[in-house]
Amino acid sequence: MLVHVTSSQDAVEIIPKQVEDLVRSLIDYKQITCHELSLHFVSREEISTLHEEHFGDPSPTDCITFPIDSPEEDTFYKVLGEIFVCPEVALSYAKRHLVSFEEELSLYVVHGFLHLLGYDDITKQEREQMRKEEALCMEHLRNNHCLLHLPTPA
């Protein structure tokens, strides 16, 4: 399986191998077929631009996803999609709420991954299901030592 990891931001050093391990662990845990997935770590400006272009909201957000092939589709080669994550949003949130930056950033990847699997968070019921799945995935990642462990910026 190919996991493409890019980073066009400079707030945090992204270690592609850790991101790949996290994603592979999630794919195994959810028992889905996926041949390719892309993760892009972008700046606050980039995520704001994507948010406005695709959702009409210019504010920065944690992550944005673009599904390509549905996990249920029976295709020869399955490209799950793309996840855009903003580490600066995770840093701000972690500082404001006194939580672990690494856990917050890992959660953003999990959240985007679940969106690619078809989970949504528009309605109250969808949000509850998303939070439940996020918690299960995060527990799996913790138990398997696959959370991101990145150098935390000052």
Non-local CB neighbours of 6 within 8 Å, separated by 6+ positions: 38, 39, 40, 41
The first and second tokens of residue 130, run together, are 């998303």
- The pTM of the full predicted model, rounded to 2 decimals, is 0.94
Q: What is the mean pLDDT of residues 54-79?
A: 90
CA distance 149 to 80: 25
Say if residue 56's pLDDT is above 80. yes
Q: What pLDDT shows up at residue 150?
A: 82
At the fourth CATH level, the homologous superfamily of domain 2-143 is: Metalloproteases ("zincins"), catalytic domain (3.40.390.30)
Q: What pLDDT shows up at residue 153?
A: 65
Say if residue 152's pLDDT is above 70. no
CA distance 154 to 137: 28
